[in-house]
Structure formats: structure tokens, C-alpha cells
Structure 1
């Protein structure tokens, strides 16, 4: 199995587990109990917390995919009365609680889940941090002792590692954050892409500017669909992302990777079903 294939396989297994943080009720309830007024206040306060009390411009740069000004609507105001570390702790606590509910006590308490947590923790600590801002921030956090919490935090750390590489791939192709969402929407068959949930709230003038730029580059046609050139760019971004996401898994032997995949597969299936309508 190639390193890129390994990275893609691990992404497919870990993403349904990571999505608990964004789709389940428990993290939002924990953040609301702290005093965060909206979902996005809690999101920015928690995800950016490992970076420390950096300015909104730094969060915007690290997150990459949000439109200009979106981070500034929440940072630093979301940290004004609630310390960043408290927000992150609540985010993690709610995420682990949701995992426990969805996976069930038997799966959570199994030796396979504990082993998966151990192997993921080893992988999550096994890659260089240079050029990986979000990953480096997550690496500064203490490793939890509870296996399920350790599994969640390691999965989230690996997700940020992959995200940092994805930003590099997008930059190399001169694709901005909003442009990336448009290309992803079209790749998923969403048309017009301006209706995609990650961008539909943006000003029409801004979306029109983005679409005009993609047409000018030949990535989108006059009808608003991907061209062959657009599909090639999207494929290159994904291929480079997979390649750049591979280093953490070099910390594991082939036998350990096989063991990790076998332990994660049943967990991933359950979590994927939770997000399927």
C-alpha cells in the first residue's frame, strides 16, 4: 500500500469519528453552558484555542477556508470572558460524550478501542510540525489518559495535520478558501455551487467575483460546471493532500497499521451511519 493510499484510507476511517465534534449535540451543549451564544462562537473559540490568544488575522490564516472577516466576528470576542482552554475542554468533553453515546459502552470499553487510541496517539505524535500551524497547536496539548478521549484528540490532531497539508496543496494551485468550497461543491454535484452551505451566506457580489475568477482561469464553464481543467486541479489538490498527510503513519509498522485499520473499521461504520440521513 502506498503512503498516499494509507493516508486516504486513514482519512476515510477517521473523518466519521471527527465529525462528532461538528454534528453532535453534546459539544454545542457544553459550549452553550459555558456562555457561548452561537455555534460559531464556540467553534472558533475551541478550534483556535491550541494556538493561544492570537489575533483574528492569525486564525483566519490558519483556518484558511473562511471568508474575509468571518474569524474577526468571533475572535477575540469569544475569548473575552471564557478562557480558550476552557472552551477547548468543553468541546472535547462534549465530543467524547457523543462518541460514548453513539458507539455504546461495549465498543468504547473494548481492548480494540484502547489499542486504536494507543496507535493513533503514536501516529499523531510522529510527524514534523514545521509548516503545520494547526497540527503544531494540537501537539502542545497534554495527552489524555482516558482511551476514548485520547482516541478523539489523536484523531482531531491528525485531521488538523491533514488540513495543514490541504492548505499547502490549495496554495500551490492558487485556490483560495472560497474557491475551494466552490470546487468541492461542484465535485459533489451541487449546482449552482453558490448554494453550498459553506458559502451560501456570503454576499452575492463576492460569490459572483469568485465564479468570474474561476471562469477566467478556465476551471468553471459558462454554465457554472467544472471544466476538464477544473477537475484536473481538484484531482491534483487531493493527490498532494494525501501525499502530505502520510508522514504520521510512518511512525507505525505495517502490522500496526493493519491492526489500527481493523480496530477503527467497526467504529467508523457506526459513526458514518450516524451522519447518514
Structure 2
């Protein structure tokens, strides 16, 4: 990977951390609970999908890709009977700003990043990226911190949409995507994503039949190559979002937002490791 690619990869980790405070920060369960959304995962599914309106479990399972359908069905469509999507989105934005405010060290740099990200969103192509498109249609908050979080969310979903497309092209389904990681890393993902022991074992059998896992459940060389190819495809697809930024502007954006994301991680507002399986910024 060239120097720009390395900067882009780190920026994605930074944007992921900024975005994800709405799921993990202290008070998130209470904030969603006040709307009637009980439990971590109900708040997660409702808050992440509210930009789509009142989607049902089939659509959300398809777009989020890695979750067992029954897990999504526990949250949706029931969430929409107690919480209007507009209220969920408002609560989510307020929660994000409250969680991030304690980690801002340079307000001027943050304002500059907000303006630069606004320019990125203005030219963003969301063809084939439904979650990014839905969040792009959500009005951005007026303050710089809210604008940064909104942009991080749109760009995070833009990359995620591309990652799902890469997995589908590689013929890797939702449960198999987790099993392709090293065996030592995947067991908690089974629980996080709602798969049964049998579904987990069946996925391993399918991957072994393709020569992608060995008898011990570890990726083979072919499996590692496939996963690396999926990541390369994701990186190439995601890079289109940042192509309007020259190298200096890209580095400037990382320098402006890196301290915010690292403070979020160091302060525990987003834990690592976590259910998203994303690497820690600066790690």
C-alpha cells in the first residue's frame, strides 16, 4: 500500500471512532431507552437504520450484512411502534455531540475539518450505496462538532456499503464474513451477531469446502488471500469518496481529527476490541 493508501486507511479508522460513539458511549442505552428502545441492540438497529424511514428486518439484514436475521427481527419493525425515526435521529445527533465534546482539544482545527468534510460530501457519489445515500439526506447539524459527526457517519456508511458489495462479489455471506477471521478473534463475533453454534459450524464447513479454512478453523493461504482481496476492493471503492482531496488536504484532515478519535478510544467512549471489528485509531 502506498503512502496515500496508508493515510486513507488510518482516516477510515478515525472516522469510524468518531461515528461509533453513538453506540458505545456512557448514556447511549439511556438515551435510546427514553424513546422506548430497550436494550443495546434495539437502539443500535433503530438508530442506524432510522435514516431509511421505518425499514423492516429483511431490508436492514440485507444492508447491514453480518447479522443473523432473527437478531434484527427482535428489534424491527417493533422499534417503529414506540419511536418515530425523526426523534431517533435527533436523539442520535445530540448523543454524538455530547459524547464527543469532552474530547475536542482544538476547536479551530475541528471547524476547519468540518468545512473540508462538507466539501467532500458535496461531491460524494452515492450510486449503489444505500446507507450512505440515506444518511446524506439527513440534514447536518449547524455546529462544527455535529457536522463532523454527520460527515463521519455518511463516509463510514459509504465505505461499509462498498465492503458489503465486495463480500457479495466474493460469495461470502453474513456469517462466513466473520468466520474468515483468525479463529482466536471470531468467537465473540458469533454472539455479537446472533448466530447459533450450528450456523457457525455450518459456515466453517462451507468455507472448508472452498479451501478457505483449515481443519482447525484458521484461514488457509487461499482464505487469507481472499480476505485480503476483499479489503483491497473495499479500500479502492472507498477511496473514491476522498479523491477530491489532494495529499496535503487528506493529511490535514487526518491531523485535525486524529487527536479527537484517539481521545475517544483512550477514554473508552468506543471500546477496542468491539462488535464492529474495526482497528483502533493509531493502532
TM-score (norm 1): 0.90
**Counterpart position of 1:149:** 146
Q: C-alpha deviations, 1:118-145, integer Å up to 9, x for none?
A: 2122223322111001001011111211
Question: Once the 2 structures are TM-superposed, how far is the Cα of residue 146 of structure 1 from its aligned partner?
Answer: 0.8
**Counterpart position of 2:12:** 11
Aligned residue pairs total 269
Distance 1:64 1:216 in 2: 22
**Counterpart position of 1:43:** 44
Q: SS in structure 1 opposite 2:82? A: coil
**Counterpart position of 2:122:** 125
Q: C-alpha deviations, 1:132-187, integer Å up to 9, x for none?
A: 0100101111121111111111101100000000001101111111111122354x
Picking from 253, 256, 280, the partner of 1:260 is: 253
Q: C-alpha deviations, 1:248-277, integer Å up to 9, x for none?
A: 212223332232122112222212222467
**Counterpart position of 1:27:** 28
Stretch moving more, 65-74 or 223-232: 65-74
Distance 2:94 2:121 in 1: 19
Picking from 116, 129, 136, the partner of 2:133 is: 136
Confirm or deny that 1:164 pairs with 2:169.
no
**Counterpart position of 1:111:** 108
Distance 1:70 1:269 in 2: 31
Contact 2:190 2:200 in 1 (8 A): no
| CA gap 1:185/1:225 in 2 versus in 1, 3 angstroms | closer
Distance 2:124 2:170 in 1: 24
| CA gap 1:3/1:129 in 2 versus in 1, 3 angstroms | farther
Q: SS in structure 1 opposite 2:181? A: helix
Give me the CA root mean square deviation.
2.0
| CA gap 1:179/1:159 in 2 versus in 1, 3 angstroms | same
Contact 2:132 2:155 in 1 (8 A): yes
Confirm or deny that 1:273 pairs with 2:273.
no
Confirm or deny that 1:222 pairs with 2:222.
no
| CA gap 1:198/1:129 in 2 versus in 1, 3 angstroms | farther
Q: C-alpha deviations, 1:28-70, integer Å up to 9, x for none?
A: 2211111211111111111101111233211111111111232
Contact 2:7 2:254 in 1 (8 A): no
| CA gap 1:202/1:94 in 2 versus in 1, 3 angstroms | same
Distance 1:160 1:2 in 2: 24
Q: SS in structure 1 opposite 2:27? A: helix
Structure 2: runs of 5+ lacking an equivalent: 273-283
Q: C-alpha deviations, 1:57-94, integer Å up to 9, x for none?
A: 11111111111232222111101121011112112211
Q: SS in structure 2 opposite 1:89? A: helix
